[in-house]
Chains A and B, each alone.
Chain A
Amino acid sequence: MDADPPGPARSERLSAFAQQHGALVTLVVAVLAAWLSFDTFMTTDNTQNMAVSSAFLAVVALGMTFVIVTGGIDLSVGSLFALGGVLAAWGSQYGSTVALLLPLAVCGLIGFVNGLLISRSRLAPFIVTLAAMLGARGILLAATDEGSRTYLVDKDSFFATLGQGKVLGVGAPVWITVGLFVAGAVVLRRSRFGQYVYAVGGNEDAAALMGVPVARTKTAVYTLSGLCAGLAGALNAAWLVSGVTILGSGMELEAISAVVIGGTLLSGGFGFLSGSLLGVLLLKVIQNVINQIGSLDSAYQQVVSGGFLAVVVVAQTWLGRRRRVL
């Protein structure tokens, strides 16, 4: 990543800093506060658990970041996550390769169709991915007899170790996620495709006039988002050693929240993957803390997450207005 050059004014620099590192600062504060408040927070078990459960959301948020940087939105990822999990669990009876590739193929295809409809038919991303969200949920119910059938994954298969295994004491999904984020960051910041993603989100008309393949770029990001959601679902199924149909609802909003908290602009053209990762961790830490406060109903998780998101968006709007991000 290239360093951000010094801005012209202190206030400008300050708001740029807040936009880029706000999530990090908040995360550090939240972790420290939780550490000091709860003996159970910094235990190996708890951090392991948080890390692995963050991993799945993080993979979804990775794809979502690309989509949001182009100025779009993908509401289908929650359904695709659940679908990916069930397909992986079902496919695992035919071997680990099928378990991994089937969800990627199906979810990637749905993402690709989303992308085509959005870029070629110029339909609104919100509507297209909302339709995909409902449709994928339907396929899921059909595949599981209305959710009554649960497919199990063989605990000894290679596929199960992708979810259950540990390397250096850290869960495999965490390593996979870290690897994906490093690769994703390189693609977003250092590849030509990454430049196209920013250009499309920053000024679509200008990008088209400068020769950026706008339609192809958009199709690619929705395909990527579908792939990420499917992979996250598959990894989750490997972790749970079963495909659980009820998972993933509301996950699209969680992923969007994480991306926005991480500093990516919903209007597109600005954002970075490290922020999305921090956003995911922040959401998970907050959830964890609320779970630790036994007296609080877990329903409050959503209240706090929602409130937090509101604060971030207001702050972003405020910062954006100061910098007139358009």
Chain B
Amino acid sequence: MPALPVRSAEVLSVAGLSKTFPGVRALDGVDFTARAGEVHALIGENGAGKSTLIKVLTGVYRPDPPTAAGTGVLTYDGSEVEFATPLEAQHAGISTIYQEVNLVPLMSVARNLFLGREPRGRLGLIDFRRMHREADTALRGLGMRVDVRRPLRELGVGAQQMVALARAVSVEARVVIMDEPTSSLEPREVATLFGVIRMLRERGIAVIYVSHRLDELYEVCDTVTVLRDGKAVHTGPIAALDQLRLVSLMLGREIGDVREEGLTKFSGGHDAEAEPVLRAAELTVRHLLRSVSLTVRPGEVVGLGGLLGSGRSETAKAIAGALPPDSGRVVVAGVPVRTGSTPAAIRAGVSLLPEDRKAEGIVPGLSVRENIALAALPGLSRFGLVDEARVDRVVDTFMKRLHIKASGPHQKVGELSGGNQQKVLLARWLAMNPKVLLLDEPTRGIDVGAKAEVQKLIDELAGDGLGVLLISSDMEELIEGSDRVVVLKDGAVVEELGGDAVTEDRLLRAIAAAPAAPTHSPSAAPSDSPDARDAPGDDQAPGDDHD
């Protein structure tokens, strides 16, 4: 398709924009233009500079001072601007939805929605009745029915994301930026989101849309800008590019390579005869798991399938001792493991790569070296003193093996891209020489290139005889990566697919056909969705004391 015949007005643009952090040039002379009534996709690998660009556009970061006239400046609505704070950008009409829900969990839904622009009545005091009414209307407009006076944290992640969306669109925004808005949404919510995006486009609002899900881009975006290594390598109508071309632009590789290697890096097919290295039997946690049993053999990748809230993460946590089960057994390499104890599970050789790497995994202020060595320290110490030379060796080995991109072992992990943070976490657990690796969404939120690397790594690890339990919302990843898939629904195993039966079709059927708990009509409140049940349920875990 040719370029749009009439380009609408430029709303927000940057030319020759650079942003340098200590040791890293995150953005290098980027040109970017958002136009009214246009949905502009912004894609690139992790570390390509997407988040940095967004943060510059929204006043979180200040760009580097211009090196030449007309470069490094933000043009908004025809005039040069500088946003000193996010507040200034918001007041100017730039509204942002961040990838990780950035709201205040203890405050009510309505308060979150209106924070900083509450309707005020007499004496400048907040008019709560009006605020609640307007919040309710705004959320109903997005197909959500919740009690807006309830604390935000009682909603599921997806519902919280919808609140963030409502917040972003209910201000008088001229530019709406969405950073990975669908990563925690259910399909139904994604449909709503797309509806909202189309509505914004019709209203003449410029939408900047960041996503790793390429299919989505074709569904809602008009234009695409591809970032790679801090540079904008391509801008043009998205319909003019096919997915393969898009991927090759992102990766900076030739199309031939990509096609040859496929989009995922799993080889599949492991020995399924050996004695199980992990045997979980009848794990039960009130409200969360109902008698979940599964086995993993050495060298085998077992996928855990199911929808958000079906008990996938909970199963992994119960096995790893992070969620004490009410009943059930965990046996690793023939030896029973005391349940509900993370140290016991780690000693037995179980390592869990948690879903939320920011909150449950990395220590951002510590270096790559310290993060990797953290869990393995007891094994690397003698008489309570850390053997520094051994730590160096271990860290060096894993940084090389996992291709961790950092300026060196002493760079702070917080400064790395998401994919590299994930690799650091993986390295941490591999340094423990585990027998079983539990991976909860190992590739969520990381870019295509790093994703392929992590997938390949999982494959290699299994090849080395590790038992792997893989949780992934990415169907393709789950199907191609797993030798078997155990399908969960509402906290119980509903089917196990093995060999040739591991297909998308069978998996969907298994999820769909299983006897379900109360189904939800499209108009049902999101708080009744499995997603919404998941979060508070998780919160109520008895004795859940790992924080």
Contact check, A198 vs B107: say whether CB atoms are below 8 A apart.
Answer: yes
Identify the closest chain A residue to B55 (Cβ).
A209
The complex places the Cα of A325 from the Cα of B111 at a distance, in Å, of 17
Cβ proximity bits A175-209 to B, threshold 8 Å, 1 near / 0 not: 00000000000100011100110110111011111
Q: Does B536 contact A (CB under 8 A)?
A: yes
Contact check, B104 vs A8: say whether CB atoms are below 8 A apart.
Answer: no
Contact check, B539 vs A324: say whether CB atoms are below 8 A apart.
Answer: yes
Instruction: List, in ascending order, chain B residues with CB within 8 A of A326's CB.
Output: 105, 153, 547
| B446 → A minimal CB distance (Å) | 21
Identify the closest chain B residue to A1 (Cβ).
B128
The complex places the Cα of A8 from the Cα of B538 at a distance, in Å, of 14
Contact check, A8 vs B128: say whether CB atoms are below 8 A apart.
Answer: no
Contact check, A206 vs B111: say whether CB atoms are below 8 A apart.
Answer: no
Contact check, A212 vs B150: say whether CB atoms are below 8 A apart.
Answer: no
Cβ proximity bits B526-545 to A, threshold 8 Å, 1 near / 0 not: 01000000001011100011
Instruction: List, in ascending order, chain B residues with CB within 8 A of A196's CB.
Output: 115-116
Identify the closest chain B residue to A2 (Cβ).
B128
Q: Does A138 contact B (CB under 8 A)?
A: no
Known: A5-B150, A207-B104, A211-B87. A198 touches B111 (CB 8 A): yes
| B111 → A minimal CB distance (Å) | 6
Contact check, A5 vs B107: say whether CB atoms are below 8 A apart.
Answer: no
* Contact residues of A between 203 and 241, Cβ < 8 Å to B: 203, 205-213
The one of A9, A191, A192 in contact with B116, judged by C-beta atoms closer than 8 angstroms, is A192
Q: Does B45 contact A (CB under 8 A)?
A: no
| B525 → A minimal CB distance (Å) | 11
The one of B60, B104, B128, B150 in contact with A203, judged by C-beta atoms closer than 8 angstroms, is B104
Contact check, B98 vs A5: say whether CB atoms are below 8 A apart.
Answer: no
| B399 → A minimal CB distance (Å) | 29
Known: A5-B149, A209-B96. A192 touches B106 (CB 8 A): no
| A124 → B minimal CB distance (Å) | 14
Q: Does A269 contact B (CB under 8 A)?
A: yes
Contact check, B540 vs A191: say whether CB atoms are below 8 A apart.
Answer: no
Q: Does A7 contact B (CB under 8 A)?
A: yes
Contact check, B115 vs A212: say whether CB atoms are below 8 A apart.
Answer: yes
| A242 → B minimal CB distance (Å) | 39
Q: Does B8 contact A (CB under 8 A)?
A: no
Contact check, B125 vs A209: say whether CB atoms are below 8 A apart.
Answer: no
Contact check, A191 vs B106: say whether CB atoms are below 8 A apart.
Answer: no
The one of B87, B118, B547 in contact with A195, judged by C-beta atoms closer than 8 angstroms, is B118
The complex places the Cα of A8 from the Cα of B150 at a distance, in Å, of 10
Contact check, A324 vs B153: say whether CB atoms are below 8 A apart.
Answer: yes
Instruction: List, in ascending order, chain A residues with CB within 8 A of B98's CB.
Output: 209
The complex places the Cα of A191 from the Cα of B103 at a distance, in Å, of 19
Known: A192-B126, A323-B539. A2 touches B116 (CB 8 A): no
Q: Does A166 contact B (CB under 8 A)?
A: no
| B243 → A minimal CB distance (Å) | 32
The complex places the Cα of A5 from the Cα of B103 at a distance, in Å, of 19
Instruction: List, in ascending order, chain A residues with CB within 8 A of B104's CB.
Output: 198-199, 202-203, 206-207, 269
Q: Does A11 contact B (CB under 8 A)?
A: yes
Identify the closest chain A residue to B131 (Cβ).
A2
* Contact residues of B between 81 and 114, Cβ < 8 Å to A: 85-87, 90-91, 96, 98, 101-108, 111
Q: Does B154 contact A (CB under 8 A)?
A: yes
Contact check, B85 vs A186: say whether CB atoms are below 8 A apart.
Answer: no
The bracket for how many chain B residues form the interface is: 35 or more
Instruction: List, in ascending order, chain B residues with CB within 8 A of A198's CB.
Output: 104, 106-107, 111
Contact check, A192 vs B545: say whether CB atoms are below 8 A apart.
Answer: no
Instruction: List, in ascending order, chain A residues with CB within 8 A of B111's CB.
Output: 195, 198
Contact check, A209 vs B60: say whether CB atoms are below 8 A apart.
Answer: yes
Instruction: List, in ascending order, chain A residues with CB within 8 A of B126's CB.
Output: 190-192, 195
Instruction: List, in ascending order, chain A residues with CB within 8 A of B150's CB.
Output: 5, 7
Q: Does A270 contact B (CB under 8 A)?
A: yes
> How many chain A residues touch B (Cβ–Cβ < 8 Å)?
38
Contact check, B102 vs A209: say whether CB atoms are below 8 A apart.
Answer: yes
| A296 → B minimal CB distance (Å) | 37
| A126 → B minimal CB distance (Å) | 18
| A196 → B minimal CB distance (Å) | 8
The complex places the Cα of A4 from the Cα of B128 at a distance, in Å, of 13
Identify the closest chain A residue to B128 (Cβ).
A2
Contact check, A195 vs B115: say whether CB atoms are below 8 A apart.
Answer: yes
Contact check, B154 vs A8: say whether CB atoms are below 8 A apart.
Answer: yes
Identify the closest chain B residue to A6 (Cβ).
B147
| B527 → A minimal CB distance (Å) | 8
Contact check, B106 vs A190: say whether CB atoms are below 8 A apart.
Answer: no
Contact check, A325 vs B103: say whether CB atoms are below 8 A apart.
Answer: no
* Contact residues of B between 144 and 188, Cβ < 8 Å to A: 147, 149-150, 153-154, 167
Q: Does B518 contact A (CB under 8 A)?
A: no
Cβ proximity bits B416-434 to A, threshold 8 Å, 1 near / 0 not: 0000000000000000000
Contact check, B149 vs A210: say whether CB atoms are below 8 A apart.
Answer: no
The one of B90, B107, B124 in contact with A199, judged by C-beta atoms closer than 8 angstroms, is B107
Output the residue of A3, A9, A206 with the most chain B CB within 10 A.
A206
Cβ proximity bits A1-45 to B, threshold 8 Å, 1 near / 0 not: 011111111011000000000000000000000000000000000
Instruction: List, in ascending order, chain A residues with CB within 8 A of B96's CB.
Output: 209
The complex places the Cα of A207 from the Cα of B104 at a distance, in Å, of 7
Contact check, B116 vs A211: say whether CB atoms are below 8 A apart.
Answer: yes
The one of A11, A211, A322 in contact with B86, judged by C-beta atoms closer than 8 angstroms, is A211
Contact check, A7 vs B116: say whether CB atoms are below 8 A apart.
Answer: no
Contact check, A191 vs B125: say whether CB atoms are below 8 A apart.
Answer: yes
The one of A3, A192, A210, A322 in contact with B540, judged by C-beta atoms closer than 8 angstroms, is A322
Contact check, B115 vs A210: say whether CB atoms are below 8 A apart.
Answer: yes
Identify the closest chain B residue to A200 (Cβ).
B104
Contact check, B540 vs A325: say whether CB atoms are below 8 A apart.
Answer: no
Instruction: List, in ascending order, chain B residues with CB within 8 A of A324's CB.
Output: 153, 538-540, 544
Known: A11-B540, A192-B118. A206 touches B125 (CB 8 A): no
Contact check, A213 vs B87: say whether CB atoms are below 8 A apart.
Answer: yes
Cβ proximity bits A256-272 to B, threshold 8 Å, 1 near / 0 not: 00000000000001100
Known: A321-B545, A323-B539. A186 touches B125 (CB 8 A): yes
Contact check, B118 vs A211: say whether CB atoms are below 8 A apart.
Answer: no
| B124 → A minimal CB distance (Å) | 7
| A146 → B minimal CB distance (Å) | 44
Contact check, A211 vs B85: say whether CB atoms are below 8 A apart.
Answer: yes
The complex places the Cα of A209 from the Cα of B87 at a distance, in Å, of 8
The complex places the Cα of A180 from the Cα of B106 at a distance, in Å, of 26
The complex places the Cα of A210 from the Cα of B103 at a distance, in Å, of 8
Known: A199-B115, A209-B98. A192 touches B120 (CB 8 A): yes
The complex places the Cα of A140 from the Cα of B486 at a distance, in Å, of 71
Instruction: List, in ascending order, chain B residues with CB within 8 A of A321's CB.
Output: 544-545
Contact check, A206 vs B102: say whether CB atoms are below 8 A apart.
Answer: yes
Output the residue of B115, B154, B540 with the most chain A CB within 10 A.
B115
The complex places the Cα of A2 from the Cα of B150 at a distance, in Å, of 11
| B218 → A minimal CB distance (Å) | 29
Identify the closest chain B residue to A267 (Cβ).
B106
| A15 → B minimal CB distance (Å) | 10
Contact check, B124 vs A325: say whether CB atoms are below 8 A apart.
Answer: no
Instruction: List, in ascending order, chain A residues with CB within 8 A of B545's CB.
Output: 321
Identify the closest chain A residue to B532 (Cβ).
A8
**A contacts, CB < 8 Å to B:** 2-9, 11-12, 186, 190-192, 195-196, 198-199, 201-203, 205-213, 269-270, 321-326
Q: Give 5 closest A-B pairs by Cβ, nearest first.
A: A202-B104, A211-B87, A324-B539, A206-B102, A5-B149
Given contacts A6-B147, A211-B85, A213-B85, 16 further A-B contacts (CB under 8 A): A2-B149, A192-B118, A192-B124, A195-B111, A198-B104, A201-B106, A202-B105, A203-B104, A209-B60, A209-B102, A210-B102, A210-B115, A212-B115, A269-B105, A322-B539, A324-B153
25 contacts between A and B (CB under 8 A): A8-B154, A12-B540, A191-B125, A192-B120, A192-B124, A195-B107, A198-B111, A199-B115, A201-B106, A202-B105, A207-B115, A208-B86, A209-B102, A210-B86, A210-B115, A210-B167, A211-B85, A212-B116, A269-B105, A269-B107, A270-B106, A322-B539, A323-B539, A324-B544, A326-B547
